[in-house]
Amino acid sequence: MDRSQTAGRALEKHVDYTGSKMGMWLFLFTELLFFGGLFLLYAVYRSDFPQEFYATSAGLDRTVGAINTLVLITSSLTMACSITAIKKGETKSAVIFQLLTIGLALVFLGIKYYEWGAKIGHGMYPGSDALLSAGQGEIIFYSLYFVMTGIHGLHVLAGIVLIALMIRMTLKGIISTHDFVRLENTGLYWHFVDIIWVYLFPLLYLIG
Amino acid sequence: MKHEDRSDHTVSYRANLFLWFALLVLTGVTVMIAGIDTGRSGILINILVASIKAGLIVYIFMHMKYESFLLKLMLLMTLFTLTVIIVMTFLDTLYR
């Protein structure tokens, strides 16, 4: 490869870097409006059924919700650290931090599984007889709870797959201290998922 | 310090840890507020605290502090759009 080709490559990469980050942000904007719609639904029904939302929210386990918040915030830290590591050229730490992020994400989903399991064990799931015999506000609250935490959980699951792919790429050297935009974009996605939970936790668990 | 495009900036481990600690403290504040004040203002304060947390995550973890003016503007436009949608919906539902 002669010199002009190398220069061309470098230039192409620079443009690509800004473009791919912007592309990721555009995707996150659509995600924001998507979750925004769900939060709007929550807000409107909450103003329609304040007492019912209040009472039903008390039925959720606050401690479990708080622990999950800590888990997710810590996973955001390890994700951010993996990017710091790769930029500094510390490939091994970058991989370890990504593994830790996946580990914490799995803990989050495990806790969610336990939580959903307890609710479903009590016959509280969308369309169940126990839930349908409850008041309208309670039905709406639980429906929103399952839909919002469910879709958020799917995002966590997608994040795990994405980070696993990033680990593979880091090990193969595709992601390196010279080219790390994929890892950065995965980080953006992961922090976004964390932000959604930052709002879900007080709105679902702490209003009772 | 006012440099526009510093998107190659590396956030230090220290800064990451510091932000993590701040987020933990704010989570503690949220839980405490919910324990004390269960009235109408409680939820507003909680949304405010959540927004501070989200802002910090966007600013440092998501690197927005170091991004270009264009990207910052794009984020503001999106938040503005979301706000308009929320306000218009409430203008409808509250004054029906």
Residue in chain A lying closest to B62 (CA): A188
Question: Mean pLDDT, to the nearest integer, of B63-89?
Answer: 95
**Of the listed ranges A33-42, A123-132, B72-81, the one predicted with least confidence:** A123-132
Inter-chain CB proximity A77 and B17 less than 8 Å: yes
Q: Which fold has domain A16-205?
A: Four Helix Bundle (Hemerythrin (Met), subunit A) (1.20.120)
B90/B14 Cα distance (integer angstroms):
42
Is A196 within 8 Å of A189 (Cβ atoms)?
no
Q: Which of B16, B34, B93 sits opposite A202 (nearest CB)?
A: B34
- Comparing A66 with B39, which gets the higher pLDDT? A66
Which of left, alpha, beta for A39 (phi over 0: left; psi -120 to 50: alpha)?
alpha
Inter-chain CB proximity B10 and A40 less than 8 Å: no
B32/A135 Cα distance (integer angstroms):
29
Counting every residue, how long is chain B?
Answer: 96
- This prediction's pTM: 0.91
pLDDT at A1 over 50: no
pLDDT at B7 over 80: no
- Comparing B94 with A192, which gets the higher pLDDT? A192
Q: Measure B87 CA to nearest chain A CA, in Å.
A: 10
Q: Measure B20 CA to nearest chain A CA, in Å.
A: 6
Long-range contacts of B88-96 (CB under 8 A, 24+ apart): B89/A40, B89/A44, B90/A43, B90/A44, B90/A47, B93/A44, B93/A47, B93/A48, B94/A47
Inter-chain CB proximity B43 and A207 less than 8 Å: yes
pLDDT of residue B42: 78
A158/A135 Cα distance (integer angstroms):
34
Q: Which tokens in the block code for residue A163?
A: 């980070």
Q: Which tokens in the block code for residue A151?
A: 């879709």
- Nearest residue to A176 (alpha-carbon basis) of A91, A81, A80, A78: A91
Inter-chain CB proximity B61 and A199 less than 8 Å: no
Q: Which residues of B touch A188 (CB under 8 A)?
A: 62-63
Is A60 within 8 Å of A204 (Cβ atoms)?
yes
CB contacts < 8 A, A to B, total 117
pLDDT band at A6 (very low <50, low <70, confident <90, very high): low
pLDDT of residue A74: 98
Q: What does the pLDDT look like over A33-55, one tens digit per residue?
A: 999 999 999 999 999 999 999 89
Which of left, alpha, beta for B63 (phi over 0: left; psi -120 to 50: alpha)?
left
Q: Which residues of B touch A181 (CB under 8 A)?
A: none
Residue in chain B lying closest to A200 (CA): B50
Q: Which residues of B touch A68 (CB under 8 A)?
A: none
Inter-chain CB proximity B61 and A201 less than 8 Å: no
Question: Mean pLDDT, to the nearest integer, of A114-128?
Answer: 93
pLDDT band at A7 (very low <50, low <70, confident <90, very high): low
Q: Which of A25, A40, A206 sits opposite B71 (nearest CB)?
A: A25
Domain ranges of chain A: 16-205
CA gyration radius for chain A? 21
Residue in chain A lying closest to B39 (CA): A207
Inter-chain CB proximity B57 and A194 less than 8 Å: yes
Q: What ipTM was predicted for this assembly?
A: 0.90
Exposure on the CB side of residue B71, measured as CA atoms within 13 A: 24
Is A144 within 8 Å of A34 (Cβ atoms)?
no
Residue in chain A lying closest to B5 (CA): A18
